[in-house]
Structure 1
Amino acid sequence: MGFDQARANRIFLPETYAEGVPYELFRELRAEAPVCWVEEPAVGDWPAGPGYWAVLRHADVKHVLRSPEDFSSHLGATQIRDPDSPADLEFARTMMLNQDPPDHSRLRRAVAAAFTPRALRELAASIEQRADELVTAVRPLGQVDFVPLAADLPVWTLARILGVPEQDQQLLVDWSNRVIGYQDPDYADSATADPALLTAPGRAALARRPTAVTTPDGRPVNPRSRAALADMFGYAHALAEQPPPGSIVARMLEAGLSTAEFETMFFLFAVAGNETLRNGLPGGLYSLLTHPDQYRLLCRRPELTASAVEELLRFWPPVLEFRRTATRDVVLAGRRIRGGDKVVVYHASANRDPSVFPDPDRLDLTRRPNDHVSFGFGPHFCVGAQLARIQFSALLRRVVAELPGLELVPGARPTRLVSNFQNGLKNLSIRWG
């Protein structure tokens, strides 16, 4: 049987992931075409794209991620969808995520001090306390939607790191929903922040929220563009007028970042910094509760929490893929890739590669080693990975210890985020006792 292009195209379509990550399709493609061409048909209001090379095996994914000289984050940025205009691409390129060394290294150094072992130790105690408060507050209820509960911890943590007042934390949620959930009608236009609770800069940002921003030909603009995020960037500049000492905002100003670099760095922390864990925590708990033998194992052996976090991240990677652009003609897994072609690495596929993970579709909290790529690899390995582990461990440990007999609410089927980028749940009803 020849290569089925229509079948391969399914890994691009956002609606595919609304039904679950297509692990069986990834398995088949890894075996027959581990680097394969994927077309980009039009999706809703978004126009068709030129297509890209999907990279599906663990070794090839790591090769692409550690080789910026061949596979650039800067040339076309890191999202499958191309920016709407050369100006939007130029703005996107100022973000640390969309830089190659040495410029990437300069920006990374500007914020790295916030993630030193000492800084993380100081944060860890307050994160443990917050996790305890969250679980203690819901324990008498007997049942809760875990998604908003899980969202609180990373948003609260990022607000502290950025210096965002507690009253304005909901703005971080709304910005994330708009950017990450733009393919999902439930999230694309969500605005939940209560103006009465916000600070004056927060209310000003809410008033500046763009509506119906379109390109010259009438299409909705990319949600990551400067025009679509004018309210968030305005808030960032207001925060910068009196930045809390020691905050990421203060560090960015001290590092002398340009205006565009400051804006995109704030974007990176405000959105990517909380959205990954907002998806990873509910997805991890869902994975655990649908494997009751592993849940019971963790109840009996809480010392497995650290390895459980790694396995849950492997099993439910919060980020499905990232894009690079070939800098020159190269050969990867026998396929000739031309300079300028898009190359998209699939973390979700690499994390189930049987050449690296024995019995990869089995959840095994004792799995070691666990060389998952959920935090990326190479120069762009997630700068906040250890902070994410601290938060994941803190909440998982409290939930398992304080909510006995945990299970999914019968009949309350969780709903998945419609996205080909983030692997998320929109709700997860759990009960205990």
Structure 2
Amino acid sequence: MTMTLTEAGLTLADPSAYADEARLHQALSLLRRDEPVHWVEAAGYHPFWAVTRHADIMEIERDHAVFRNAPRPVLAKAETDERMERSRAEGTALRTLIHMDDPQHRVTRAIGADWFKPRAMRAMEQRVRELARQYVDRMSEYGGECDFTTQVATHYPLYVILSLLGLPESDFPRMLKLTQQLFGGTDKEFQRGGTTEDIMATLLDFFTYFHRLTAARRDTPTDDLASAIANARVDGELLSDYDAASYYVIIATAGHDTTSSTISGGLHALIEHPAELARLREDPALLPTAVEEMIRWVTPVKEFMRTAAADTRVNGVAVREGESVLLSYPSANRDEAVFTDPFRFDAGRDPNKHLAFGFGVHYCLGAALARMETRALFDELLPRLDSIELAGTPEWMSTTFVGGLKHLPIRYRLKD
């Protein structure tokens, strides 16, 4: 089916396109080839420039003085943008690291940075591997068939990140549901409802929960990341309740949903590419590069937005002050100018200059943890895997921001 450039641009604002990878990549390939900086006017959204080439996205990510996160860090309906702007004016808005620019971003990011540095990751590795083993053991208990996404991939990284925060296990189901409602706000299976009010209600539930957590950790500090956030000071002042809650939200949601998407999508890629699965099982030393390829292949974060603080140009196209650009990471990670045979899953791809974690000052805080969790799960699963195949049709989440497979039915045999 022939697609016009206008239709290709509109797919970026269509949540259903991200649940149809063939359609999505047809659109992105067309834009990369014919109009890599493309003006999009989608009904219900403020217009934006769609940026689809790897080099252009890198250029924008490097120039964080001109291309700012505020006031529009992610693609949202115009009504939601305006509601968030009113909340910002009232001091009651979600204000995570992705909403911030330097210098505020730098000092706020530092609050949690030590918890994700190599030394901290080494301290966590044994626990992560124990959890990976437990979840592969659960696969044995499921009798050779399960929905890998909902029964394994979703819960394993959730357990890791919420344990790091120090939340009680009894609250994990609530955090999972709220995360699905937040990132799945445009997916009929997960959304609380389809309106801006429903999205704001989900945020309010997050804030209510984390306000209580902040008060508890300030009253009785503990040795966990939640306590570090609650008691952190910027310029001598404690974070406001909304800023503290915003910090928890980004850690608790992005810290598990992106990794679960990578793990599910990575396993699906291995099932769909049995030669790569066999190659990886024969040479386990390839696992680090295979994990990077899974991350590139899935690209759980679909986009971030930047707004020009001055008149500038991107790939020769004039971008005016106040205009927004959408950075399409799935497109960058299939860019033919950077990746040889980009639509081939290659467990040994090296180099692999994917942008799934972003680039520059906003590079993903939890990238090392995501890599470690993914590697630990496949380190445990692959040696025990005797056979595996699809047991039904995989389903992807409808989204324009964060997502991946929401169902991956598999049939398998594990070695004792």
Verify same fold: TM over 0.5: yes
Give unpaired runs (5+ residues) of structure 1: 42-47, 190-211
> Is 1:254 matched up with 2:257?
no
Provide the residue aligned with 1:156 in structure 2.
Answer: 159
Detail structure 1 runs of 4+ shifted over 6 Å in the superposition: none
Aligned counterpart, 1:138? 139
Please give the TM-score of this superposition, normalised by the length of structure 2. 0.91
The TM-score normalised by the length of structure 1 is 0.87
Confirm or deny that 1:378 pairs with 2:352.
Answer: no
Aligned to 2:117: 116
* 1:33 to partner: Cα distance: 0.4
- Structure 2 spans left out of the alignment, 5+ residues: 233-237
- In the alignment, what sits opposite 2:7? 6
Letter in 1 for 2:226: V
| Alignment partner, residue 333 of structure 1 | 315
Structure 2 residue 175 is matched with structure 1 residue 176:
no
Shift of 1:336: 0.8
2:257 and 2:403 in contact (8 A); partners too: no
Please tell me whether the aligned partners of residues 127 and 391 of structure 1 are also in contact (alpha carbons under 8 angstroms). yes
Q: Relative to structure 1, is the Cα distance of residues 378 and 146 closer, same or farther in structure 2, using a 3 angstrom cutoff?
A: same
Counterpart of 1:5 in structure 2: which amino acid?
A: T
1:185 to 166, 185, 188: 188
Do residues 95 (structure 1) and 96 (structure 2) align?
yes
What's the offset of the Cα at 1:279?
1.4
Taking every aligned residue pair, what percent have the same amino acid on both sides? 31
In the aligned structure 2, how far is the partner of 1:61 from the partner of 1:81? 23
Shift of 1:3: 6.6
In 2, Cα distance between equivalents of 1:346 and 1:353:
11
Alpha-carbon contact 1:298-1:304 (below 8 Å) kept: yes
Are 1:274 and 2:256 matched, yes or no? yes
Counterpart selection for 1:416 from 376, 379, 396: 396
**Number of positions where the alignment pairs a residue of Structure 1 with one of Structure 2:** 396
Amino acid in the other structure paired with 1:31: R
Task: Determine the C-alpha separation between the residues in 1 that align with 2:198 and 2:212.
Answer: 24
Q: Which one-letter code corresponds to 1:163 in the other structure?
A: G
**Matched residue type, 1:169:** F
User: 2:235 — aligned with what?
Assistant: none
Secondary structure of 2:82 counterpart: coil
Tell me how far apart the structure 1 counterparts of residues 323 and 73 of structure 2 sit (CA, whole Å). Answer: 12
**Partners of 1:233 and 1:33 in 2: CA distance:** 41
In structure 2, the residue matched to 1:311 is 293
Partner-residue secondary structure (3-state), 1:268:
helix
Structure 2: distance between partners of 1:56 and 1:420 = 15
Output the CA distance in 2 between the equivalents of 1:331 and 1:375. 24
Say which structure is richer in helix: 2
* Cα distance, 1:101 vs structure 2: 1.2
Q: 1:151 to 1:2 in 2, by over 3 A?
A: closer
Query: Which amino acid in the other structure matches residue 367 of structure 1?
Result: R
1:232 & 1:127 partners in 2: Cα distance?
26
On the 8 A contact 2:298/2:404 being kept in 1, the answer is no
- Between the aligned partners of 2:74 and 2:223, the Cα distance in structure 1 is 29
Tell me the amino acid that sits aligned with residue 231 of structure 1.
D
Give the match's secondary structure for 2:404. Answer: coil
Which stretch of structure 1 is more off in the superposition, 122-131 or 18-27? 18-27
Provide closer, same or farther for how the CA distance between residues 174 and 2 of structure 1 changes in structure 2, counting only shifts above 3 A. closer
